[in-house]
């Protein structure tokens, strides 16, 4: 079974007999290649479509695509005689490497130290372990450090791409462009084992817009392909491809500017995501307006030229982060976190620390530490690091300021409230 159609066909071979279908909605009876289901609903879907003057629908397919980072997977493992293990790895999460290697090799995690190296691209594909457990076991066998590097062919054969998908979507709108209803069915390939990002696709596919009546249904489907891995806001671009294509079709049918149609239906502060939470301050309308005002959008098109418009939403993974901030004798600072830097996050950490301390950013040295040198941090992924780890840096820096104010108050024998922190 190499396609979703084959995996869902009546009488299809069952990849994992006895594995129940998890999640929401009406589940298949007996064994199935559907490992989980996601369902979000709101309003009255049939009543909503009955109000629509224009309805568009379409079926969309996307293939499995590999992340294509320039640097292939590589690691160095050194299993020592005292039982400790050192690993240097090209990874998006040193602590995930530590915990997964410990589980797979039967090693006490307290004996493992992982140093994340400078990474030549990840995009979600360097979150799981592949080489690291094998390198550790080979190092134990050899009594020497072992280095392993994948060829590009091995990367394609042995590591996780993003899901392929099959999607059906329909959207209804009134003649004035107001969205009234939308329905989706998203089927995602998870590969040989459960775990596609169909849940994230369901969370994001319609969330940029106010749609009072909606039904979003997603399936995680196993088939004979490699187990998938994350790929840049996993699932969200795949779902947006379908919904945004149909919104463009609506704009053509209604003879509306595609940005104007999106502006009319854009969600604002206080509106709820399709999976429940209300939005705080967001800048979706401002972003659309900025795009519309840009000279590129107003430029005349030449022969064989076109112009595309699309919007997307991602919820930012929160997860857990820590940070350590130290102030040196000369007033400069060091900020240490455990998140590998994939896109400039060290600069973000330095900027936030410098702003809180009131010093120049060049006086802050940001560092990514190994798993013995820093507190626990979840992976660098889900667009979470500047947000979540940045908050840890801010809180740690504020604690430094509070401690130094308290020390000054003690030395000067004055009340703490009378001591202010200013300009570093």
Q: What does the pLDDT average to over 31-51? A: 97
Q: What is residue 75's predicted lDDT score, i.e. its pLDDT?
A: 98
Taking a C-beta distance cutoff of 8 angstroms, is the pair 32, 38 a contact? no
Task: Indicate if the pLDDT at residue 88 is higher than 90.
Answer: yes
**With bands split at pLDDT 50, 70 and 90, how would you rate the model's confidence at 349?**
very high
Task: Indicate if the pLDDT at residue 354 is higher than 90.
Answer: yes
Residue 181 CB partners (closer than 8 Å, separation 6+): 43, 45, 48, 49, 51, 52, 171, 172, 211, 212, 213, 214
Residue bearing tokens 């134990």:
140
Q: What is residue 316's predicted lDDT score, i.e. its pLDDT?
A: 87
The partner residues of 113 in beta bridges, in order of sequence, read: 86
Q: What does the pLDDT average to over 62-90? A: 97
Task: Tell how strand 323-327 and strand 333-337 pair up.
Answer: antiparallel
Q: What is the DSSP letter of 338?
A: S
Mean pLDDT, rounded, of the chain:
97
The predicted-structure confidence for 357-407, as pLDDT tens digits, reads as follows 999 999 999 999 999 999 999 999 999 999 999 999 999 999 999 999 999
Q: What is residue 135's predicted lDDT score, i.e. its pLDDT?
A: 98
Secondary structure E strands in 27-152: 34-42, 54-62, 74-79, 85-89, 112-116, 146-149
To the nearest whole percent, how much of the chain has pLDDT over 90?
98
Q: Which two tokens stand for residue 142?
A: 């050899």
Instruction: Provide the whole-model pTM.
Output: 0.93
**With bands split at pLDDT 50, 70 and 90, how would you rate the model's confidence at 108?**
very high
Task: Indicate if the pLDDT at residue 116 is higher than 90.
Answer: yes
The predicted-structure confidence for 147-175, as pLDDT tens digits, reads as follows 999 999 999 999 999 999 999 999 999 99
Task: Indicate if the pLDDT at residue 47 is higher than 90.
Answer: yes
Whole-Å CA distances, 109 to 81, 217, 372, 389: 16, 39, 11, 23
Q: What are phi and psi of 78, to 5 degrees?
A: -135, 100
Task: Indicate if the pLDDT at residue 178 is higher than 90.
Answer: yes
Q: What is residue 89's predicted lDDT score, i.e. its pLDDT?
A: 98
Q: What is residue 404's predicted lDDT score, i.e. its pLDDT?
A: 96
Residue bearing tokens 């969370």:
203
């Amino acid at each position: 079974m190499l396609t979703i159609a084959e995996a869902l066909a009546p009488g299809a071979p069952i990849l994992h007999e006895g594995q129940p279908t998890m999640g929401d909605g009406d589940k298949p009876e007996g064994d199935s290649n559907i490992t989980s289901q996601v369902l979000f609903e709101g309003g009255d879907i049939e009543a909503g479509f009955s109000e629509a003057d224009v309805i568009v629908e379409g079926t969309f397919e996307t293939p499995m695509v590999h992340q294509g980072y320039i640097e292939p997977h590589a690691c160095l493992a050194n299993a020592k005689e005292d039982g400790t293990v050192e690993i240097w790895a090209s990874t998006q999460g040193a602590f995930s490497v530590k915990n997964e290697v410990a589980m797979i090799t039967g090693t006490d995690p307290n004996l493992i130290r992982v140093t994340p190296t400078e990474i030549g691209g990840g995009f979600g594909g360097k979150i799981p372990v592949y080489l690291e457990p094998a390198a550790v076991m080979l190092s134990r066998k050899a009594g020497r450090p072992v280095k392993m590097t994948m060829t590009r062919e091995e990367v394609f054969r042995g590591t996780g791409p993003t899901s392929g998908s099959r999607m059906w979507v329909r959207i209804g709108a009134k003649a004035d462009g107001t969205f009234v209803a939308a329905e989706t069915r998203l089927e995602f390939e998870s590969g040989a084992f459960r775990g596609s990002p169909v849940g994230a696709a369901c969370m994001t596919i319609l969330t940029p817009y106010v749609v009072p009546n909606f039904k979003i249904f997603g399936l995680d489907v196993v088939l004979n392909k490699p187990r998938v891995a994350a790929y840049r806001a996993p699932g969200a671009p795949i779902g947006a491809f379908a919904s945004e294509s149909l919104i463009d079709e609506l704009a053509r049918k209604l003879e509306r500017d595609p940005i104007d149609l999106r502006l009319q239906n854009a969600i604002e502060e206080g509106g709820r995501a399709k999976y429940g939470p209300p939005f705080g301050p967001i800048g979706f309308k401002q972003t659309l307006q900025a795009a519309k005002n840009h000279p590129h959008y107003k430029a005349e098109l030449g022969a064989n030229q076109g112009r595309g418009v699309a919007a997307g939403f991602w919820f930012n993974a929160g997860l857990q982060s820590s940070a350590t901030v130290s102030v040196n004798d000369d007033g400069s600072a060091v900020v240490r976190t455990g998140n590998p830097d994939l896109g400039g996050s060290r600069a973000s950490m330095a900027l936030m620390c410098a702003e809180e301390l009131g010093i120049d950013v060049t006086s802050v040295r940001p560092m990514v530490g190994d798993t013995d040198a820093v507190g626990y941090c979840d992976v660098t992924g889900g667009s979470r690091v500047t947000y979540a780890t940045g908050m840890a840096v801010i809180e740690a820096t504020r604690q430094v300021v509070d401690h130094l104010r308290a020390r000054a108050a003690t030395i000067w024998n004055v009340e703490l409230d009378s001591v202010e922190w200013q300009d570093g």
